[in-house]
Amino acid sequence: MKRRFSLFLAILMLVSVFSPLGLGFEGNEIRFSTNVVEAAEDDAQLNEATPKEEVNDASNEVTPKEEVNNASDEVTPDVDNGTPSTEDKDVQPEVNLKDQKIILTNDILTIGKDVTERNFTWYANTKEKGKFEFAKLNAKKDFKDATVLDATVIEKTNLSGYSSNQVTLEGLEPDTEYMYRFSNGDTVSEVKTFKTGGTGDFSFFAAGDPQIGSGGHLNGKDGWDKTLKLLPELDSSASFLLSLGDQVQAGKDEEEYDAYINREGFNGLTLAPIIGNHDERGNAHEEHFKVSNVQNEGKSKAGSNYYYVYNNTLFICLNSNNKDYAEHKVTIEKAVAENPNVKWRVVTFHHPPYTVARHALDDYITDMRSTLVPILKENKIDLVLNGHDHVYTRTHVMDGTKPIIEWENGEEGKAPSEYVNPKGIIYVTTNSASGSKFYDIMQDKKFEYSAVKNQEKVPNISNVKVTDNSIEVTTYRTSDKSVVDSFKIVKEDKKENQDKPVIPTPVEPEKDNKDDKEESSSNVRRYRSHSHTKTYPVYTSKSSNFTKEDALKKGEEIANKNLAKNSGKATDIDGHWAKDSINYALENNLIDLIGNEFKPNDKTTRYTVVKALGRFKKIDVEKYKGKSLKDVDANSEESAYVNWAIKNGIIVGYEDNTFGGDREITREEIARILNLFAEKFDIKGKNLEAPKFKDQNKISDWASKDVKEATEKGLLVGRDDGTFGPIDNLTRAEVAQMIVNMIK
């Protein structure tokens, strides 16, 4: 009897020890999960395929352990030292679900295929199918007319004893607040709410690498909690949160998932999750986060590629743990083909092709530049958002793998705050949103593709605002809500410049003998990039005031003295509004024919403009011919006009030491050039009243003053319809008219 009693006590003691771990006790049977064997097999496969992580150089990392991707196809890390995660425990006991209270947890709202759809997931410690109810919010929170959905259940999940319940909410209306609740059996959640966005402009947040548990047990949990609570203060109307991978440190650690998901800041917030390398260990990512439009391409244990459209923007989400870029190409091309009418194309994935910290030189990162980057260029992607390197980086506009380097106001190191119709892609690598880990910038590397790089070891969060013609990305420090970096991409439609401009009373210049005047020691100004013209700087002068004169010299006298004759006759200008000006330009050899045609409506180039201005000044070509920028032949006539224009502060080349003579010029850009030319050579202008153009609000901030001055002085004019057309490219006919405006 005593033996039986002792055995009974021993069993009770065992139950008391193991029951917190989920051990089931039923009758005389103690049940352990077969997941132990499966977990061991998973780890064995993982260890076989994945080399052990090496310890980081302490000088380059805040936390002690992290993956070193020695192999080009390796992205899966080891777990940091410290408190063991659930995947490291020898036993994962299975909970006996009989007669126990049902617990609902890990509920999360995720992005749908478009604005009319959301997905929702929650966990319950039962295999019984859950129910989800939602309706428009009413004062009584009455669910009488609610839509009721039966959940799809994943019975066996990474969280032992719990099932994953998933539903898709369809038919959501814009700008509407909804209420919802979910249940399993008799256990019903509290009523929660979320609001859909409108159909026009919208915004979202982008978070890099929360990576809960990196560097220690649940490290980053508090930082993540703070970041989520900060979001409404920064942008209360944001439509969703894009999390750019590495939600947790160890992809099988449910304690880390709990710390990531069960946060007050997720109430009412929609998550758009991206798969990171630390999310890769097992199926937990898919079990926690349901998304739409899941593709066959990009598959790994954690999931695969997917995409969605939100209002005017296509978001393509790649699983960059899968390095079959042919598969990613299929997803991208399919998404683009299915959504031809969107204004913007944004691609998101975890591993950044362009970064500046620890992973910048990893083989699989550099390989992406020759494999994935060309695919992104081919599909005319506007913006790429990444994580992984725990540092902030904003690239220059990337034309494939070539950076189009430009600096604000010509000040090296000061990145432009705005790009208009850029001819390429901007890539952003986001810093950690939780602060669980940071990587130092490689100080011994130049990284020419980088326009902005920042590492202050403070968590960041990026807010992205989207309109029909702009995307603005502002990155904040969560410590004090101050701005790390901000830039805007502007996309504006262009129209062919066919309208006849209004021709003002002619203005003629004084005779000039100042070709050799020294270049002004003024600041350099950088123009923004356009779809047909690379951004370029021009020298800004110290003063923009011109001398006014009532008595002007006759333009013909100036022209006869300074300009050579051109006997060519254009065959394509009869009936053109600028015929007289074109003939004048041809007779005085200002602009060359193209064969027997002038091609008046063709867009003009940088070289055509400086050549016309140089010929107007009748420069000594031999005097200026010689060594020039690297894309200009030193022995060519072109070198003379380029060198003359640069010396006199009218225009300069690019930072890569090229001139880009074949690139086009917009009307607002030529306003600046004309002002500089007129001031340099004392061209007198009339004191006209500044016109109020119908499209005044489309003139860029940096060009507003230049357009005003140029039109006040009659150097540049508007159009008959009352518009200015600031970003329309200047035509060859307008160059001819521009010269006539100055010399008559």
- Please tell me whether residues 385 and 290 are part of one structural domain: yes
pLDDT average, residue stretch 200-226:
94
In a domain, 268, yes or no: yes
CATH classification of the domain holding 173:
2.60.40.380
- Please tell me whether residues 182 and 205 are part of one structural domain: no
- Please tell me whether residues 204 and 192 are part of one structural domain: no
pLDDT average, residue stretch 270-289:
95
Q: What is the pLDDT of residues 720-731, one digit of tens each?
A: 888 888 888 889
- Please tell me whether residues 376 and 331 are part of one structural domain: yes
Here the tokens at position 250 are 């160890």
Nearest to 276 by CA among 151, 396, 434, 167: 434
**CA–CA gap between residue 160 and residue 501 (Å, rounded):** 75
pLDDT at 37 over 80: no
Give the three-class secondary structure for 495. coil
pLDDT at 67 over 50: no
Reported confidence tier of residue 187, pLDDT bands at 50, 70, 90? very high
Among 181, 197, 213, where does a domain finish?
197
- Please tell me whether residues 236 and 265 are part of one structural domain: yes
- Please tell me whether residues 210 and 192 are part of one structural domain: no
In a domain, 1, yes or no: no
What number of CA atoms fall less than 13 Å from residue 414's CA on the CB side? 7
User: Per the structure, how many domains does the chain have?
Assistant: 3
Whether 217 contacts 82, CB under 8 Å:
yes
- Please tell me whether residues 188 and 267 are part of one structural domain: no
Q: 35-60 burial string, b = 16+ CB within 10 Å, else e?
A: bbeebeebeeebeeebeebeebeeee
Q: pLDDT > 70: what percent of the chain? A: 76
Reported confidence tier of residue 99, pLDDT bands at 50, 70, 90? low
Angle of helix 667-680 versus helix 701-712 axis, rounded to 10: 60
Give the three-class secondary structure for 246. coil
Q: pLDDT > 90: what percent of the chain? A: 51
The reported pLDDT for the residue numbered 627 is 85
- Please tell me whether residues 688 and 627 are part of one structural domain: yes
Looking at the chain, how many residues does it have? 744
Write the DSSP symbol of residue 116: T
Here the tokens at position 428 are 């952003």
In a domain, 456, yes or no: yes
pLDDT at 452 over 80: yes
In a domain, 619, yes or no: yes
Q: What domain range includes position 106?
A: 100-197
In a domain, 83, yes or no: no
Range with the lowest mean pLDDT among 114-128, 233-247, 491-505, 677-691?
Answer: 491-505
- Please state, rounded to an integer, the average pLDDT across all residues of the chain: 80
In a domain, 269, yes or no: yes
Higher pLDDT, 364 or 560: 364
Among 197, 216, 237, where does a domain finish?
197
The reported pLDDT for the residue numbered 315 is 98
pLDDT average, residue stretch 679-687:
81
In a domain, 63, yes or no: no
- Please tell me whether residues 231 and 334 are part of one structural domain: yes
Here the tokens at position 37 are 């064997």
**CA–CA gap between residue 597 and residue 572 (Å, rounded):** 6
Among 163, 197, 231, where does a domain finish?
197
Nearest to 207 by CA among 247, 263, 149, 171: 247
* DSSP secondary structure string for all residues of 623-667: HH-S---TTS-TTSHHHHHHHHHHHTTS----TTS---TT-B-BH
- Please tell me whether residues 177 and 217 are part of one structural domain: no
Q: What is the pLDDT of residues 376-395, one digit of tens each?
A: 999 999 999 999 999 999 99
Helix (H) or strand (E) segment spanning residue 192? strand 192-195
In a domain, 20, yes or no: no
Nearest to 701 by CA among 495, 466, 416, 468: 416
* DSSP secondary structure string for all residues of 49-112: HSPPPPBPPGGGBSSSB-----STT--PPPPPSSSPPGGGSS--PPP--TT----EEEEEEEE-
CATH classification of the domain holding 365:
3.60.21.10
**CA–CA gap between residue 575 and residue 102 (Å, rounded):** 84
What are the Cα distances from residue 63, in Å, to 59, 204, 214, 432, 706?
10, 29, 7, 13, 52
- Please tell me whether residues 181 and 204 are part of one structural domain: no
- Please tell me whether residues 170 and 283 are part of one structural domain: no
Angle of helix 732-743 versus helix 555-562 axis, rounded to 10: 110
pLDDT at 21 over 50: no
Range with the lowest mean pLDDT among 167-171, 437-441, 580-584?
Answer: 580-584
